[in-house]
Amino acid sequence: MFEFAWPWLLALLPLPLLIYWLVPAGEDRSAALKAPLLLHWQHFESGGQHRQRQRLWLKSLLWALLVTAAARPQWVGEPLELPASGRDLLISVDISGSMEAEDMVLNQQPVNRLQAVKVLLRDFIERRQGDRLGLILFGENAYLQTPLTFDRKTVGTMLEDTEIGLAGTSRTAIGDGIGLAVKRLRERNAQNRVLILLTDGQNNAGALDPVQAAELAAHAGVTVYTIGVGADAMVVNDTFFGRRVINPSKELDEETLKNVAGLTGGRYFRARNTAELEQIYQILDRLEPVPDTPETFRPVKALFFMPLGLALLISALAFLWQVRPRWQGAAA
């Protein structure tokens, strides 16, 4: 249906008429309806009474079109039901310096942990139709990258733009990442609140201990699924000792991650490679949606440009008509 976003502006329509009535009889009443867009109306004002009446109607029309455009006319479509699972799902990703370790393989090419997480999370996010998704990043600090939204494309784009070091590189605030997620999730009245936390380290920064944060999550009804990222064994070339096997995930605190998941009714997963990480996402895909009251969306198409464009067109034509005699005289 057709409506105005700011209908109260239509009350300005009779304003020129009021000014016309209120100006004393000895004053120039025609000034009440002078068009502000043209600077040369003085030549357009001459003529007989019939032509002056035409110009008055023209100026009134321009005023009405401008006021109509300012009131923001718009076409509001029929209500569309948004698919909703009733789930608010936040993804908290570790972007500390340790995520630069290249112990993952993707398409037969070595990649660092964050790159692998990005590629596989992108597909996971795209499959979460009906969930409200959000993104939290943490390193030395934790911050909300994307608030909860149905716009999966935006969440994926913000994840793709994420770089290591945006939240500090040397330490990891896992507890703060959980605490921030709990704060955001408890602000909504969702029936199912889920946090997926991916990290490759241990908590050594921040104000909140991960177990304490998990207790807060459990109290707020937030289920936390934790994922430990990183290979258990990796072959490296050493200058003195040649090829040797190291454990690049020795800093991973699996015990704490298991406790966090257990306290909230979630699960802990270990992703030693991209295949295991993809399997974890498939398991998480099987989370049962909780029925929720469907949300509706009414598409709105702005129409202000139509009266505004018509006013500009009429003004331009009037101006050209005004200066036409000058052009003809110059041509002669």
Task: Give residue-wise pLDDT tens across range 247-262.
Answer: 667 788 889 999 999 9
pLDDT of residue 40: 47
Residue 302 has pLDDT above 80, yes or no: yes
What is the chain's mean pLDDT, rounded?
Answer: 80
CA trace torsion 198, 202, 208, 210 (10° rounding): 60
Q: Which domains does the chain have, with CATH numbers?
A: 2-76+299-331 (no CATH), 82-285 (3.40.50.410)
Residue 269 has pLDDT above 60, yes or no: yes
Q: Model pTM greater than 0.75?
A: no
Q: Quote the CA–CA distance of 105 and 112 in Å, as a whole number.
A: 8
- The pLDDT tens digits of the residues spanning 45-74 come to 455 566 667 777 788 888 899 999 999 999
Please, what is the Cα angle at 186 between 180 and 187, to 5 degrees? 95
Burial class (CB in 10 A: 0-12, 13-18, 19+), 77: exposed
Residues 6+ positions from 153 with CB-CB distance below 8 Å: none
How far from each other are the two terminal CA atoms of the chain, in whole angstroms? 54
- The pLDDT tens digits of the residues spanning 233-245 come to 665 555 555 565 5
Region label for 75, one of left (φ > 0), alpha (ψ between -120 and 50) or beta (otherwise): beta
β-partners of residue 11 are none
